[in-house]
Amino acid sequence: MKKFLAFVQKEFYHILRDKRTMLILLAMPIAMIVIFGFAISTELQNVDVGVLAPNKTSSIRQIINKINANKYFTIVKEIDNSKDIDKSMKQGDIDIAIVFNSNFNSDPKIQIVIDSSNPNLANSEMFYISSILKDYFQDANRNINLKPSIKTNTRMLYNPQMKSSYNFVPGIMGMIFILICALMTSVSIVREKERGSMEVLLVSPVKPIIIIFAKMVPYFVVSCANLLTILLLAFTLLQIPMNGSILFLCLISLIYIFLSLAFGLLVSSLVETQVAAMFASLLGLLLPVLMLSGMIFPIDNMPIILQWISNIVPAKWYISAVRKIMIEGLEFTYVLKESIILTVMSIFLIIVALKKYKNRLE
Amino acid sequence: MNNNDSINKVIKVENLTKKFGSFVAVDNISFEVGKGEIFGFLGANGAGKTTAMRMLCGLSKASSGKAKVAGFDIYKQTEEIKKRIGYMSQKFSLYEDLTVYENIRLYGGIYGIKEKDIKPRAYDLLENLNFLDKKDALVKSLPLGWKQKLAFSVAVFHKPKLVFLDEPTGGVDPKTRRQFWEQIYEAASRGITIFVTTHYMDEAEYCDRLSIMVDGKIEALDSPQNLKKQFNVNSMEDVFHTLASKAKRGD
Amino acid sequence: MEIVNTYNLVKKYGETYALDGLNLSINKGELFGLIGADGAGKTTVFRILTSLILPDSGDAKILNLDIKEDYKEIRKNIGYMPGKFSLYLDLSVYENLKFFASVFGISIEENMDIIYPIYKHLEKFKDRKAGKLSGGMKQKLALSCALIHKPKILFLDEPTTGVDPVSRKEFWEMLKMLKSQGITIIVSTPYMDEANMCDRIALMRKGKLMSINSPKNIIKDFDEVLYEIKSDNMYQLLNDIREFKKTKRAYTFGVSHHLILEKDSKDEILEYLKTRNHKNIFINRVEPNIEDCYLQIESLYE
């Protein structure tokens, strides 16, 4: 135990004295929250709308006013003929064009043209604009008694404002812990190999398990600090409602942190240089987190093979669990599956890593 | 000193100084190196050799003093200097994953030798070294002695006036070391000036003249023979010990 | 008493033999030198003996312990300074020492007596970061760290490579002092002049032992007549003596060239050199040193 504490102390010296890295580690979650929470957003904002209406009847004017009154949309242009739609869109003047037919009063038809170079955005724009139109026609129907059409009533659960930060915060958590625990731990172990100090440690009677676990401690502490920062920022800055139990959230996060550490350890026992450790962590861990965890791309839309593969990406389970607890406010029993999968994965990884870790140089 | 003499000086250094903050790495050194001379640049670790050499190669800016290398000013004409010098260190000189010929071609290209000139000159070089049959071998497959010969030949491939050798023989066996020095002799006899650092005192004896740096200053500068006479000892080893043990810096 | 024994050690990396059937025995209390160039296999010997790697075939025993089976016991009793620098540069002198002491489960004070002669040079810098020490000081610290647990055998892999002659000399003084305390020291070096400081040396080449003996005996075994030769044009002289038909070997040797001739041809070469316009020719019989021996032995292997 005394040896273990000596190692832990040494590891803390290393990371506390490397001020730059320390700063990056502590500031990274803040930066990510800010970037993903505000800058990269799939929420609708300032959508510019152009209108093409051959006859401006009163109902058309009402519709235009209704759209203009919505905080997401602004009517910026009236367009005279359909050729100009394409032109205005290319010039970036408008994001959406609404085209009314010439005999709108007798046979109302509306065409909506959307710049879908960003498909996600186009989808939400479409969704919003059609709900505005639907709304209008429902009111109109009541007043002038047109023939009744099918009513659709959509209700957005859990994230009624469709805030993208609700989606990203669990993703950021999934990413940060992999970065810090797996990447930093593996780099710090491999650094000792590269500098030759691992040779000296191996030649000493110290058990490898002591060296390894001591390496994990500081990064574990840093990760816990990060967990705290992320949660604080999520509640205060992004105002994400904490619907579920914080205790469960922390518990599942701890499991995930431990799993990431085990991952880092495994990487470090497989590679020889810091650069290789970095690449292995980034390509082998971060990329799957970004691509296959459901953080950015919905898993249900993936080809079936990728869906299978996504099942072995721990971040998928973690992110899903965090969403369930944090956003949906579900009880722990609903994330039991995720917790069990993550725990089994951690145990498996740590066993493989310790088996792979050698008592000798090769 | 007459005009002709100053033309023949490949390196002229006057009161050159380099400071890092309050630390004076190179302290007011002055010396000259003549054409075709083998000039040994000795000193303990941390005496300022590397810093001085970097300034002369145009890699690091001097704090004060004057210096000309191959007739060009080290402050303003570093590009001209770089064209006219060769450099070889123990750590890096050849790309291990390129073939012998590819390395030569690469260096030829770096120094702006015309494509049509590279080929005949490369073949001349390979023939002189008896390397023609190894032309397409990867450098990493060559024995150390060969690599070293090749590294030196590549460093002088663009016919520089002056070649800097930074501890070229560290960790090398006695035989390879000797072969290497013979190559240096040969280059010097063709008029190439050699500026070399080493920790081997027998190699110091091979130099025409030597300077020994202690704590950033040049404490001795003469031929090996005269230095031994001056300090009244029998070997360069003893000269070095007498001087270097005066050092205060570092420890 | 023999403290290290190896039997036909073989280690291959790809197609090259790092060790090609090495047999070595080292006595207790000896200052033993492994002499050879880069690639001779010195580091591989160290790594096998310190239980860091396993040989492909062959056996080795240290302190009567098997390197394959009893590596845990071996690791308690040896100190090792690898060729690559191995201190923690971001830790202070004292922190480094304290850390390595705790690795062996001891305190610095327990074994201060053994490291003090070395550590005393470092004491006033004890709060300085290891990265800010000069080369010689770093080396002293690394040696202190390798000694802190009072090992029975100390392995030093090229401790003096790239170190200036003054620091090298100091370092060898420290080794002699440690030897007098009864520690067996096994050290490798590419510097031939350091061989004279060892009790016995092994000359290695391409994973094989060329010779193993005391420096004195190795020099005694030099069975040729050796001349030093000088003239005003040393480079031309070397080329010319090599062309002389009765020259066996000729090589540069600091101020002079060393020359081995076929029997009784000294006068003949003087005549020959005069025809080549050499002035101030000086030739004299000299005693060989280790470097001459290395070159002689190596020439037999080619």
Strand B193-197 and strand B38-43: the pairing is parallel
Interface residue B96 vs chain C (CB under 8 A): no
Touching subunits of A (3+ CB pairs, under 8 Å) are C
Name the helix (H) or strand (E) containing B33: strand B23-34
Domain boundaries, position A103 = 47-144
What CA–CA distance (Å, rounded) separates A181 from A173?
Answer: 12
Name the helix (H) or strand (E) containing C208: strand C208-213
User: What's the pLDDT at B249?
Assistant: 66
Do C184 and C240 reside in the same domain of the chain?
A: no
Q: B189 to chain C: nearest residue by CA?
A: C235
Show residues of chain C in contact with B167, CB under 8 Å: 162
In 3D, which of C214, C190, C216, C193 has the Cα closest to residue C204?
A: C190
Residue A151 resides in a domain: no
Report the percent of chain A where pLDDT is more than 70: 90
Do A54 and A201 reside in the same domain of the chain?
A: no
| Domain B3-244 annotated CATH 3.30.2350.10 | no
Q: Can you read off the two tokens belonging to residue A209?
A: 């398990």
Which one of A144, A172, A193 terminates a domain? A144
Residue A296 resides in a domain: yes
Interface residue B3 vs chain C (CB under 8 A): no
Task: List, as one string, the DSSP characters of C34-92.
Answer: EE--TTSSHHHHHHHHTTSS--SEEEEEETTEETTT-HHHHHHHEEEE-SS--S-TTSB
Look up the CATH number of the domain holding residue C291. Answer: 3.30.70
Do C103 and C236 reside in the same domain of the chain?
A: no
Do C187 and C275 reside in the same domain of the chain?
A: no
Q: Does the CA dihedral A78-A80-A82-A87 come out positive or negative? A: negative
Mean pLDDT across chain B: 88
Instruction: Give phi and psi for C259, each to the nearest 5.
Output: -140, 130
Backbone φ/ψ region at C111: left (φ over 0), alpha (ψ -120 to 50), beta: alpha
Which one of C180, C202, C220 terminates a domain? C220
The DSSP symbol for C196 reads G
Average pLDDT rounded to a whole number, residues B53-78: 91
Do C231 and C212 reside in the same domain of the chain?
A: no
Residue A236 resides in a domain: yes
Which one of A113, A144, A175 terminates a domain? A144
Average pLDDT rounded to a whole number, residues B45-52: 86
What CA–CA distance (Å, rounded) separates B175 from C40?
Answer: 13
Residue A200 resides in a domain: yes
Do A34 and A51 reside in the same domain of the chain?
A: no
- pLDDT exceeds cutoff 50 at B3: no
What CA–CA distance (Å, rounded) separates C136 from C138?
Answer: 5
Report the percent of chain A where pLDDT is more than 90: 10
Touching subunits of B (3+ CB pairs, under 8 Å) are C
Q: How far is CA C65 from the centre of its chain?
A: 25
Look up the CATH number of the domain holding residue C172. Answer: 3.40.50.300
What CA–CA distance (Å, rounded) separates C282 from B109?
Answer: 47
Number of domains in chain C: 2
Residue A40, exposed/middle/buried by CB under 10 A (0-12, 13-18, 19+)? exposed
Do A59 and A175 reside in the same domain of the chain?
A: no
User: What's the pLDDT at A152?
Assistant: 52
Residue B116, exposed/middle/buried by CB under 10 A (0-12, 13-18, 19+)? exposed
- pLDDT exceeds cutoff 60 at A149: no
Do C154 and C8 reside in the same domain of the chain?
A: yes
Do A344 and A260 reside in the same domain of the chain?
A: yes
Do A177 and A297 reside in the same domain of the chain?
A: yes
Interface residue B124 vs chain C (CB under 8 A): no
Do C116 and C257 reside in the same domain of the chain?
A: no
SS3 A114: strand
Name the helix (H) or strand (E) containing A48: strand A47-52
Q: How far is B109 from chain C (nearest CA, A)?
A: 31
pLDDT band at A143 (very low <50, low <70, confident <90, very high): low
> Is B173 in contact with C38 (Cβ distance < 8 A)?
yes
Neighbours of A161 (CB within 10 A): 8
Average pLDDT rounded to a whole number, residues C164-177: 89
Do A20 and A65 reside in the same domain of the chain?
A: no
Number of domains in chain A: 2
Which one of C158, C189, C220 terminates a domain? C220
pLDDT band at B2 (very low <50, low <70, confident <90, very high): very low
For B122-141, write each residue's pLDDT tens digit. 999 999 888 888 889 998 88
- pLDDT exceeds cutoff 90 at B91: no
Q: Does the CA dihedral A121-A124-A130-A133 come out positive or negative? A: negative
- pLDDT exceeds cutoff 70 at A8: yes
In 3D, which of C133, C159, C134, C136 has the Cα closest to residue C146?
A: C159
What's the half-sphere exposure (Cβ side, CA atoms, 13 Å) at A5? 3
Look up the CATH number of the domain holding residue A86. Answer: 3.40.190.10
What CA–CA distance (Å, rounded) separates C228 from C285?
Answer: 6
Q: What is the C-alpha radius of gyration for chain C, rounded to an integer number of angstroms?
A: 23
Do A29 and A139 reside in the same domain of the chain?
A: no
Do A270 and A316 reside in the same domain of the chain?
A: yes
According to DSSP, the residues that pair with C189 across neighbouring strands are C35
Show residues of chain C in contact with A7, CB under 8 Å: 99, 102
Residue A138 resides in a domain: yes
Buried b (16+ CB within 10 A) or exposed e, C40-74: bbbbbbbbbbbbbbbbeebebbbbebebeeebeeb
Of the candidate ranges A75-79, B37-41, B229-233, the one whose mean pLDDT is the lowest: A75-79
Q: How far is C14 from chain B (nearest CA, A)?
A: 12
For A9-20, write each residue's pLDDT tens digit. 999 999 888 888
> Measured over all CA atoms, what is the biggest interatomic distance in chain A, rounded to whole angstroms?
92
Show residues of chain C in contact with B176, CB under 8 Å: 37
User: What's the pLDDT at C166?
Assistant: 83
Do A269 and A133 reside in the same domain of the chain?
A: no
Average pLDDT rounded to a whole number, residues B71-90: 89
**Letter for the amino acid at A247?**
L
Q: How far is C165 from chain A (nearest CA, A)?
A: 25
Report the percent of chain B where pLDDT is more than 90: 45
Do C18 and C162 reside in the same domain of the chain?
A: yes
In 3D, which of C29, A104, A237, C16 has the Cα closest to residue B141?
A: C16
E strand spans, A79-230: 96-100, 110-114
Q: Which of B178, B190, B229, B233 to mutate to test the interface with C (most CBs of C within 10 A)?
A: B178
Do A238 and A328 reside in the same domain of the chain?
A: yes
Residue A158 resides in a domain: no
Q: How far is A160 from chain C (nearest CA, A)?
A: 52
Domain boundaries, position C45 = 2-220
Q: A19 to chain C: nearest residue by CA?
A: C90
Of the candidate ranges A28-42, A165-179, B73-87, the one whose mean pLDDT is the lowest: A28-42
> Is C252 in contact with B206 (Cβ distance < 8 A)?
yes
> Measured over all CA atoms, what is the biggest interatomic distance in chain C, rounded to whole angstroms?
74
Do A223 and A135 reside in the same domain of the chain?
A: no
Task: List, as one string, the DSSP characters of C2-40.
Answer: EEEEEEEEEEEETTEEEEEEEEEEEETT-EEEEE--TTS
Do A35 and A52 reside in the same domain of the chain?
A: no
Q: Does the CA dihedral C64-C67-C73-C78 come out positive or negative? A: positive
**Letter for the amino acid at A183?**
L
Q: Give the contacts of C25 (CB within 8 A, at least 6 positions apart).
A: C2, C4, C5, C6
Instruction: Give phi and psi for C197, each to the nearest 5.
Output: -80, -15
